[in-house]
Amino acid sequence: MDNETILQAFEWELKPDHQHWQLLAQKADLFQRLGFTALWLPPASKGAAGAQDVGYGTYDLYDLGEFDQKGSIPTKYGTKDEYLKLIATLQEKGLKVYADIVFNHFLGADETEEVSAVKYSWDNRNQQISGEEQIEAWTKFTFPGRKGQYDDYIWTWRNFSGVDYDARSKDHAIYNLGDRGWVPDVDGEKGNFDYLMGCNLDMEYPETIQNLDNWGRWFLDLTEVDGFRLDAVKHIQFDYFVDWLLHRREEKGDQLFVVGEYWSEDVTKLENYLDSSGNLIYLFDVPLHFNFQQAATSMGAYDMRQIFDHTLLAARPEYAVTFVDNHDTQNGQSLESWVEGWFKAHAYALILLRKLGTPVVFWGDLYGIPTQGIDPVGRELLILLLLRKHLAYGNQVDHFDDPDRIGWVRTGDYEHELSGYAVIMTNASGGELEMTISALHGGKTFVDAFGNNEAKVVLDENGRGVFPVNDGQISVYVNEAIAETIRNVEDLDLY
């Protein structure tokens, strides 16, 4: 069985040139060669900013780059036909496709409506700061460019529980519409974090639930995607997606892979969400990301033995989707928490070369972020991907005994020729670890796949050896017979 590896196939700063769907299709062979098993694609629906919208400012769910709306027919990434062709191309190459679904809010309404509302505090969403008042809210979505094709439902204020602007008074404030209150079963940050932005979808209004279900059926039938990434689930009623996903699974006749974005460093909140949502959804391991960031910024003072402490990978490994950075953590974004470049190879080794968790590689790490002057992680990331694809098999034994230097082995197995390796890394001074890979490798010579350390480690008859690492670096020792093949990443036409 392949080691599942997901590519987050976008970053925030991609050029709005409508070419991205085509580019991804052209690179399908490369992605497969690198060992990716699935691509997480950005939101495909038309956003309020049209061709400039990254996809999270949902305007019309049914417009996948087909209608002249918000100043453009294509989305930032291309047209509907190109999107569907991309999905088919990836699936023909054996790659699964996960669509990004944004159900928390709509933006860019076509008309205003007069509605009764109550103002709430920005910092405490349980605190009313006004009585009922009439406001003029941008809450009516008529989608004039689509003219009712696929679906003729008009979204109005009744579909939403809140907005953040009164067009009459020009007041930017949080308004609860119709004095309905907020859904209680959401994250408790700011008292109640039901409201995030735009026109907040009311998941207790039957027509909202029905229309999102209708769209899900239409979208899955049209695209035949293999799963979903769910945006901002901490702001959506915790059990909302249970029925929606059960319906999609029934329609697909398959499990579907589903991962939710619950942005919190508190692993107990993630565990609570898993339980509240019926254990249908994987979650991104946000606490692990913050451990990586802390280790990268601690000038060698971080205790590497604690790198997995208080993470989803430790608490619920079967539900953990691991990552180093993503579009929200890159510089300038609201959740900015970028992992410094010197630690990227360490962090990726900690998600790609271990047995548990489903790892995601970020486009901005694979290809860089040119607009921010950020280079790709480069050769080490490519090597790590090939190591995962070809050698990351067998049992795992950890050696987390030193605050600076940690290591582990994968024993390898009979099904994957020359599989198995020893990993050693340090965030401070160099050194060495004695580790046993497996008696399968007894007497063999192992070398650093990265070439960071020039040692040749000859294993004893039990597969034991002493593996060195240089200051602040990582080394992955593999059978000498396969080292050159793994190192020869220059043959990959990444660009």
Give catalytic residues, as residue numbers: 231, 261
108-112-115-118 Cα dihedral, nearest 10 degrees: 40
Contact 184, 178 (CB under 8 A): no
Cα–Cα distance between 92 and 135 in angstroms, integer?
A: 52
For the record, the structure tokens of 327 come out as 């579009």
Three-state DSSP at 92 gives: helix
Residues 323, 360: contact at Cβ < 8 Å? yes
3-class SS at 121? coil
**Who's near 210: CB < 8 A, 6+ residues apart?**
none
* 354, 355, 360, 366: CA torsion to nearest 10: 40
Separation between Cα atoms, residue 335 and residue 332, nearest integer Å: 8
d(CA 127, CA 123): 9
Residue with the two structure tokens 């690492």 = 469
Residues linked to residue 39 through DSSP beta bridges, in sequence order? 7, 97
Strands in 445-448's sheet, in edge-to-edge order, are: 396-399, 405-410, 421-426, 474-479, 445-448, 456-458
Distance, CA of 78 to CA of 19 (rounded, Å)? 6
CA–CA distance, 203 with 361 (Å, rounded to integer): 32
Apex 200 CA angle, 196 and 204, nearest 5: 120
Residue spans of alpha helices (H) in 114-263: 206-223, 240-252
